[in-house]
Chain A
C-alpha cells in the first residue's frame, strides 16, 4: 500500500487545528470532560478519552485498519482532481489542492478499498476530513460512485465511512451533481439486492448527509458525531438563537429516527460484520 508508507507524520492543517484531531503535543485537553490526557494513552485507546469516552477524530489510515482485515488493497487510486472552473477565492483552487496534496501525501479526500471484514468481502469507501474538510468534489464523488458500482458488479456489500463538511464549493455545480451520481449508483446496488452500510463520523454535514450518508440499509454513527444538513452556525445565523444542547449529535439523530445505532469505535467493525452476516448468510445449514 504505497499511500500508507509516509516517511513522516503530516503536519496538522491550520484549518483543522482548532477542532478535535489529536494534536502533536504530549498532553491533550479532552473536549468532552476538559480533563488533561496523556496523548500516548489516547493513541493506544483508539483516540477515545479514557475518562469520559469522548471520541476524538482519527486519521483515515487508522480508520481503514480498524475496519478491514489485513491484506486490503486500494482501488481507483489513479483519480486526480482538476480545476474545472478555474476557481479562485483568496487563493486559487489549484494551489489549495497542491498544498493539501503535499501536506497529506494523498490526491484528494477519499479512498476506495477492496478487502474483507472478518472474512466477508466488501468494498469500503472512506472520506478524509483532513483534506479540505472532507469536501466532496468530482474525485470524491466519482470514487464513492465507483465503489458502489464495483460492489454491484462483484455482488458484494458496500461500506462507506463519511466525514465531510459537504460539497466542495471550488468545483461549483459539479460538486452538487456528485450527490445525484452517487445516489444513482446506490440505486443499482439496491436493485441488485446488495447491502449498504453507512457509517457516519464526526462531522458529516451538507450534501454528504443529504445523499449517500443517509441512504444506508443500516446507518451507524460514532458517539457524539455532528450530523446534519445545515451546519449549526448557519442555523444559528438564520434563527438568531443558540441551539439546544446535543442538537445534531449522533444520539439526537438516533432519538429522531435517522440512525439505527450509535456504536462506540472499538465495537464498530464487529457491529458492521453482524449486520452483513444477517444480510448475506441465508441459512446456517
Chain B
C-alpha cells in the first residue's frame, strides 16, 4: 500500500522514454527499442489499470489531465455556441452549457467544468458550482425543451460549493429545482459521468433517461475524505471509505444505478483524449438514436420509472 497514490509512476517513466525516442531522427536504429517500450507501456498500463483499488480509481477520476466537458465538446461537437448566465444573479464558470451540432443533430450540452492550470482552476472554482450554475443549467434545459433539442449532460464535480454566498442564494433550492424539472422535461436527457460524480452537486445534472459512467469515473453520496472524516473521524481512512462506499462504475452498474460503463482507453481517458471522447460519442449517438422516436410522455414516464426503482429494502 506504500505506493498507493503513485501507481502511475512506472507508466510515466515509460511514456517519458518513448517521447524521448520519438524525437530521434529516423534511421538512427532506435525503432526496435521504441517498439519494445511501446509494448512494455501497453502491458504495464493494462496491468496497473486492471487492478485499481476504489481509492486509486478516485485518483484517476480526479486526474488533472483527464478530459473535461469542454474537451468533449471540442472533440465531438461542431458549431458550439456557449451561453451564459442564470438571468438573475451571475454566470457560473463551474458549469458550461450551450448548443452544438453532434454527429448531424442539434443538441443542448451542459456539464461541470474544472480548470486546467492554477489560474483556470480557481476561475472554475475547481468545478464546484454555486446556485447560479444550476440555474443556468435549468435555463438551458428549458430552452432545449422549447426548441425540442435533446439534452446531453456531462458530470465532473467534487460537489456543489459549500460557501456562505452559495447558501444565501439557495444552493439546496437550486439543486432540488433541477431534480424535479429534469424529471419533468419533455425531451431526452442523456447523462454521462466523466470524472467525479460528487453527491447532490452531480445529481443536479443527473436525472436522465440514460445514465452512463466512464470506466474510471466515480459517483458517490459523499467524497471518500468526507465519509472518512465523519464515520472514522479520520480523513486518512479515505481509501477504506472509498471501498466501503461502492463508488466505481462497475459498482454502480451492479447496483442498477447506471445503464452502461463506457470503457476507457488503455491507461485511462487522460492517456488518450481522442479515443476517450470518441467512445463517449459513440454511446451518446446510440442512445440518441434509441430515444429519438419517444414521445414526451414516454420520456417522462421512463425517467419516473427508472428512478422509482432505485433503492434496496425489504417489504415484510
Residues on A lying within 8 angstroms of B by beta carbon are 78-82, 84-85, 87-90, 137-139, 141-142, 145, 167-169, 171-181, 183-188, 190-191, 206-207, 209-215, 227-230, 234-235, 238-239, 243-244, 247-248, 256-258
Can you list 9 A-B contacts (CB < 8 A)? A168-B221, A171-B221, A172-B221, A178-B311, A180-B203, A184-B180, A214-B177, A229-B167, A239-B164
State A174–B252 Cα separation when bound (angstroms).
9
* 8 new A-B contacts at CB < 8 Å, known A184-B207, A212-B176: A80-B316, A90-B232, A173-B246, A191-B184, A207-B221, A209-B176, A211-B176, A228-B171
State A213–B179 Cα separation when bound (angstroms).
12
| Contact call A79/B171, Cβ cutoff below 8 A | no
Contacts of B257 in A (CB 8 A): 173-174, 177
* A-binding segment of B4-12, B33-41, B71-79, B301-309: B301-309
The A-B contact count (CB < 8 A) is: 196
**In whole Å, how far is B229's beta carbon from the nearest beta carbon of chain A?**
9
| Contact call A248/B307, Cβ cutoff below 8 A | no
| Contact call B304/A184, Cβ cutoff below 8 A | yes
Contacts of B179 in A (CB 8 A): 179-180, 183-184, 210-211
Please give me the residue from chain A that is nearest to B257 by CB atom.
Answer: A173
| Contact call A180/B183, Cβ cutoff below 8 A | yes
Contacts of A172 in B (CB 8 A): 220-221, 244-247
How many B residues face the partner with a CB closer than 8 A? 56
| Contact call A187/B183, Cβ cutoff below 8 A | yes
| Contact call B307/A180, Cβ cutoff below 8 A | yes
Contacts of A211 in B (CB 8 A): 175-176, 179, 200
| Contact call A176/B176, Cβ cutoff below 8 A | no
**In whole Å, how far is A77's beta carbon from the nearest beta carbon of chain B?**
9
| Contact call A175/B221, Cβ cutoff below 8 A | yes
| Contact call B315/A181, Cβ cutoff below 8 A | no
| Contact call B183/A80, Cβ cutoff below 8 A | no
Contacts of B226 in A (CB 8 A): 234
Contacts of A138 in B (CB 8 A): 311-313
Contacts of A139 in B (CB 8 A): 311, 313
B13 within 8 A of A: no
B1 within 8 A of A: no
Please give me the residue from chain B that is nearest to A206 by CB atom.
Answer: B200
State A177–B308 Cα separation when bound (angstroms).
9
Most-contacted residue by chain A among B163, B164, B247 (CB, 10 A): B164
Chain B residues touching A, majority SS: helix
CB-contact partner of B310 in A87, A169, A181, under 8 A:
A181
**In whole Å, how far is B303's beta carbon from the nearest beta carbon of chain A?**
6
Check A176/B221 contact, CB under 8 A, given A89-B244, A142-B311, A211-B179.
Answer: yes
| Contact call B244/A210, Cβ cutoff below 8 A | no
B169 within 8 A of A: yes
| Contact call A183/B183, Cβ cutoff below 8 A | yes
Contacts of A188 in B (CB 8 A): 304
State A239–B128 Cα separation when bound (angstroms).
14
Contacts of A235 in B (CB 8 A): 162-164, 167
Contacts of B307 in A (CB 8 A): 177, 180-181, 183-184
Check A214/B176 contact, CB under 8 A, given A229-B167, A235-B164.
Answer: yes
Check A84/B304 contact, CB under 8 A, given A206-B200, A212-B176.
Answer: no
| Contact call A185/B247, Cβ cutoff below 8 A | no
| Contact call B167/A141, Cβ cutoff below 8 A | no
CB-contact partner of A247 in B162, B164, B206, under 8 A:
B164
State A214–B227 Cα separation when bound (angstroms).
25
| Contact call B312/A82, Cβ cutoff below 8 A | yes
CB-contact partner of A169 in B221, B308, B316, under 8 A:
B221
CB-contact partner of A207 in B163, B200, B247, B300, under 8 A:
B200
B283 within 8 A of A: no
Contacts of B240 in A (CB 8 A): 89
Residue interface bits B194-236, CB-to-A below 8 A is 1, else 0: 0000011001101100000000000111100011001110000
Contacts of A230 in B (CB 8 A): 160, 162-163, 166-167, 171
Please give me the residue from chain A that is nearest to B160 by CB atom.
Answer: A229
State A169–B223 Cα separation when bound (angstroms).
10
| Contact call B252/A258, Cβ cutoff below 8 A | no
